[in-house]
Amino acid sequence: MWLLLAACIYSSEDSDTAVTWSGWVYASPDASEETVLAEGHVSFWLEPFEEEPVAASQPYEDYPGYWQVEIVPSTPLNVRVSTELSRPAVWAGDAPADDGSWFSGALFAADDAWLEDLFDALDGDGDRWVDGARDGGVLVLGTPATADIDCATLTVNDEPATCWVVAEDGTVARAAEGLPTYFAAVAQPGDIYVHAGTAEEHYVADAGDVVFALYFFGDSS
């Protein structure tokens, strides 16, 4: 599961059929009033991903960028955030057991410029990574949430992920083992499994999507 998609529960009664889940969605990782996702699509796809996604809506005219969905409770899911201004983003998490809201800043898309800047800082070649998505692949970008994650066991669809460690002074280095600061891969569209030790997360992504494996949990999850 993902830390940022954990629901803030405000209802005390469990629902067996559907819960209402809502919160702010952004067109950029730089969450602000200027980047709220007022125009776009937010859809929730429940595992085992055999049914059609459930589309979220914006229930309040005075609060553009605030989205709401009615969904089966306590179910693993993917969330796809898309807008013409950003690259579509796929997240994973669990629907809450009760009505609630996700944390502000938990869901966003990302434009190519932001991704290129990040990979330029990590690898010196942002274009190469983003071109993987432009050319029909899926870009997977992750960060670990706990010290249990070891790059030696980090795979995306059974292929080793590329890992970087960012030191306190800002120095960046590739890493083959140990706890990474970031990890990434380019995968083929379709089912994507991010795996490390006993931890695994399942995504379904289209060509050109970005899978945000942010706050990935290890053995203690």
Same-domain pairing of 95 and 20: yes
pLDDT at residue 87, rounded to an integer: 93
Domain count, the chain: 2
pLDDT given for residue 42 in this prediction: 98
Q: What pLDDT does residue 218 have?
A: 54
**Residue 24's closest CA among 11, 9, 38?**
38
Q: Are 129 and 210 in contact (CB under 8 A)?
A: no
Query: How is residue 18 written in tokens?
Result: 């559907």
Domain boundary among 48, 83, 108: 108
Instruction: Please say which residue of 88, 108, 128 terminates a domain.
Output: 108
Q: In this structure, is residue 45 part of a structural domain?
A: yes
DSSP state string for 48-83: T--SPPEEPB---TTSTTEEEEEE-TT-EEEEEEEE
- Enumerate residues 6+ apart whose C-beta is below 8 A from 17: 72
**Are 104 and 26 in the same domain?**
yes
Per-residue pLDDT of the chain in tens (221 residues, 90 and over written 9) = 443 454 443 443 445 689 999 999 999 999 999 999 999 999 999 999 988 999 999 999 999 999 999 999 999 999 999 999 899 999 999 999 999 999 999 999 999 999 999 999 999 989 999 999 999 999 999 999 889 899 999 999 999 999 999 999 999 999 999 999 999 999 999 999 999 988 899 999 999 999 999 988 754 33
Residues 46 and 25 placed together within one structural domain of the fold: yes
Which CATH number fits the domain that encloses residue 153?
Answer: 2.60.40
- pLDDT of the residue at 15: 54
Domain end residue (candidates: 108, 126, 158): 108
Q: Which residues pair with 183 in a beta bridge?
A: 142, 163
List CB contacts of 80: < 8 A, sequence separation 6 or more. Answer: 41, 42, 43, 45, 53, 88, 89, 90, 91, 209
Please name the residue that has the structure tokens 């009664």. 13
Tokens representing 154?
């980090």
- End-to-end alpha-carbon separation of the chain, Å? 8
Residue 121, domain member (yes or no):
yes
Global pTM reads 0.90
Are 56 and 128 in the same domain?
A: no
CATH, residue 88: 2.60.40.2190
Q: Give residue 203's domain range.
A: 112-216
Residue 221 lies in a domain: no
Is residue 91 located within the same domain as residue 139?
no
Residues 154, 178 within the same domain: yes
The reply to whether 206 and 121 lie within a common domain is yes
State the pLDDT at residue 216.
Answer: 82
